Amino acid sequence: MTAGDLQEICIGSSSESKAACRFYLLGITQGVSMGMLIADGKTQGGRPCIPENISAPAIELAVKMKMGQDLMVYPDDRKLDASGFVGAILTSTFPCRKPN
C-alpha cells in the first residue's frame, strides 16, 4: 500500500474507510512497538524471519490457521494483546534458522 492509497482510505467518508484507516494505523503502531521489543530481545521465542517472497494471502492464511488452532485449545488467549499474539504466531511459523 502506498501513502496515497492510505490517504484515500483515511479521507473516505464511509464507516468502512474510517475503520480500515483506524485499524491500519493501529496495526502499524502496534507493529512498531512489537518490533522494538523484538529488537531489544524482550520477546520469548526470538524473532520471526518471514521469507521475502511470501505473499500477503499466504501470511494471512498461516496466521488465521494458527490463530484458530490456538484459540480452540486455549480460549483464554483471546484476552491477550493482539499484536503480541500475532507476533508469537509469526515467530513460531517463520522461525529464524540458527547459524551452523
Based on the domain organization, do 89 and 58 belong to the same domain? yes
Listing DSSP states for 69-87 in one string gives HHHHH-GGGGGS-HHHHHH
Q: Do 81 and 98 reside in the same domain of the chain?
A: yes
Q: In which domain, by residue range, is 5 found?
A: 1-42
In terms of domains, do 30 and 77 share one? no
Same domain, 22 and 52: no
31 and 52 part of one domain: no
Q: How many CA atoms lie within 13 A of 99 on its CB side?
A: 0
Q: Are 7 and 51 within one domain?
A: no
pLDDT of residue 48: 86
- Residues 62 and 78 reside in one and the same domain: yes
Q: How many domains does the chain have?
A: 2
Whole-model pTM? 0.72
> Is pLDDT of 87 > 70?
yes
Question: For 45-64, how does the pLDDT look when each residue is reduced to its tens digit (9 = 90+)?
Answer: 778 888 999 998 999 999 99
- Which residue shows C-alpha cell 518471514? 50
Q: What is the pLDDT of residue 65?
A: 95
